Amino acid sequence: MDELEKLLLDTRQLNEKGEYEKIIELLSNSILEINNNDNLYFESALAYYRLGKYDIADSVLDKTLLLNPQNSAAYNLKGIIYMLKKDYEKSFQFYTRAIEIEPSYASPHIGIGNTYYDQKFYDKAIEFYKKAVELDSAYAGSYFNLGLAYYNCKDYQNSLVNYEKYIELISSSTTASNSDSFVHEKINELKKFLGNEKYKDISELVNKIKELLIFKDESITHYTGLTAAKALILDNSKFRLSEGAFLNDTSEGRELFRHLAIPVSKKFQDTESILFAQKPFIGSFVTETKHDDLTLWRMYGKEEKDEAKGCAITIDMESLLKSIKDMLTSDSSNTDSTRIDGEYTFYRVAYRKSDQEVKFVIPGAEDKETTLKNYMIELAKKVKKFTPTKAEETYSENKDLIERLNEIAYLFKSVEYQHENEIRLVVDGIEFEKVIDKLLPKVYIELVPIRSLIKKITLGPKIEKAEEWAAAFYYSLEKDGLQPCIHISHLPYK
């Protein structure tokens, strides 16, 4: 084995182990230039890609293709990078070129399927995923993607078949993947769909309501205590989401059930038991325009019980979602871009009026209020079909229905709170370890560190030594080359 072959072998082994920083050190610019080998350049680009440094990876791939214009893997990786940038036209071109060079290469077919999937052209996505299966029937990721695409086409039978094939193929694997629990949950859901038409109808309507309330913007703001802000900013702790049962407001999650007339949060009779149903994990945010708001300082910007002594942290929304999805990628070492489509989406909160008229207020999306009203009237009618047949039975005995409704329960509050413009991240938590704080008790999940995602920090108007806190946050972040704006609120808080 000559020196070049050994270098390539060592690099590929490091890539398999996930030791990407070591690859960057090993393949310095001088080493790459001396060897002038397209495969070495590709391995370097792959390491940069897996570290999330897409622009550098793209530049190194250009050098790879200068040395070897027939390197199909390089075109495939460029396709993935441009798909992540949502430049679908260029992504499609690179994937197509990879296929022209190597027609039997399954990965770029998956890639093209992903570009169509991202644009919600699910039928076209299925066409390319199926082609990938023809070329490599042993690759589990293609079946995973087919399961997702068929689900979105409401072809639940084919979705189930492909998810089950995915589980069959990975069952012999010794490495558990973050997508495994997601797929098992989807299989259970699909079996309920196929076995119960009423449940399927309600599930589809729940999905429509979620789709209607999706929030898209550049940034969101999170109000929290100064102690929590210190942990997130100075200690680089991961952002936490509490399970719905542990939110501060004891009325949380009930407004939807009031509309549906489902008594899940109270007893029909004093002696009646209530069946436990899992709840999602909730992150509460507001629009960036509310980063310095008197009412929010009073309600959420607290340190312990002291109002306005907290902190408002404004975060790049898309970067946060991307960080979560990157963390949960089923196999970070692959370049087939297997999808992970768990529930990682921000939603607007809708505010319900409790008078005789059915009305829901959606601040910032008033044009959607009529559609939501119609959906909610329809949902109430469909849920009524689940009315217990015996007077002493309760809806809480139908655990599947309650857990499905819990997916949207935390997207509704009373109209008295409409000034908050609240935005919520609702996560089912399937892929995450549930952490139990035994002292409180409390259950939460940990997402990702947010230091690098912070765009703005606003210190509450009653924080003592606010200048010192601002300096600590500023210089801590500056060490990492981060320079978010830091504001000290001077609102006339009384």
At 179 the pLDDT is 65
Same domain, 373 and 478: yes
Residue 107 domain boundaries: 3-155
CATH code at position 81? 1.25.40.10
Please give the helix or strand (H or E) that residue 281 lies within, else none.
strand 281-287
Collapsing DSSP to helix, strand or coil, 429 comes out as coil
C-alpha–C-alpha distance, residues 349 and 290, integer Å: 15
Cα(215)–Cα(425) distance, integer angstroms: 10
Residues 494, 462: Cα–Cα separation, whole Å: 9
Q: What pLDDT score does 272 carry?
A: 52
How high is the pLDDT of residue 274?
61
Q: What is the mean pLDDT of each run of 10 residues along the chain (494 residues)?
A: 76 81 82 82 89 90 94 95 91 97 95 93 96 94 94 94 92 63 86 85 92 92 95 95 74 84 54 67 92 92 90 93 73 46 79 83 93 94 71 56 88 90 86 82 91 95 94 94 94 78
One-letter identity of residue 436: I
Instruction: Classify residue 182: in a domain, yes or no.
Output: no
* Statement to judge: residues 140 and 205 lie in one domain: no
356 in the same domain as 443:
yes
In a domain, 483, yes or no: yes
Q: Give me the torsion for CA of 478, 480, 485, 488, rounded to 10°.
A: -60
Q: What is the pLDDT of residue 275?
A: 64
Read off the tokens for 62: 């250009």
Q: Which of 155, 187, 217 is the last residue of a domain?
A: 155
Q: Based on the domain organization, do 14 and 119 belong to the same domain? A: yes
Q: What is the pLDDT of residue 268?
A: 41
Same domain, 219 and 324: yes
Domain membership of residue 195 (yes or no) is: no
pLDDT of residue 440: 75
Domain boundary residue among 93, 125, 155? 155
* Closest C-alpha among 30, 72, 79 to residue 58: 79
Cα torsion 189, 194, 198, 201 to 10°: value is 70
Q: Would you give the end-to-end CA distance of the chain in angstroms?
A: 77
Q: What is the pLDDT of residue 305?
A: 85
Q: Are residues 205 and 151 in the same domain?
A: no
Tens-digit pLDDT profile for residues 364-380: 999 999 999 999 999 99
Specify the residue for token string 């509450």: 460
Q: What is the predicted pLDDT for the residue at 248?
A: 64
DSSP 417: G
**Domain identity same for 113 and 204:** no
The two structure tokens encoding residue 53: 């440094």
Q: Check whether residue 34 and residue 142 sit in a common domain.
A: yes
Q: State how many domains the chain has.
A: 2
User: Of 120, 155, 190, which marks where a domain is finished?
Assistant: 155
Instruction: Say if 143 falls within a structural domain.
Output: yes
Residue 192 lies in a domain: no
- Do 99 and 220 lie in one domain? The reply is no
Residue 165 included in any domain: no
| Residue 44 in domain | yes
* Same domain as 395, residue 328: yes
pLDDT at site 267 = 42
189 with 407: CB under 8 angstroms?
A: no
Same domain flag for 260 and 389 = yes
Question: How is residue 154 written in tokens?
Answer: 């409401």
Half-sphere exposure of 383 (CA within 13 A, CB side): 26
Residue 269 covered by a domain: yes
Shared domain for 331 and 271, answered yes or no, is yes
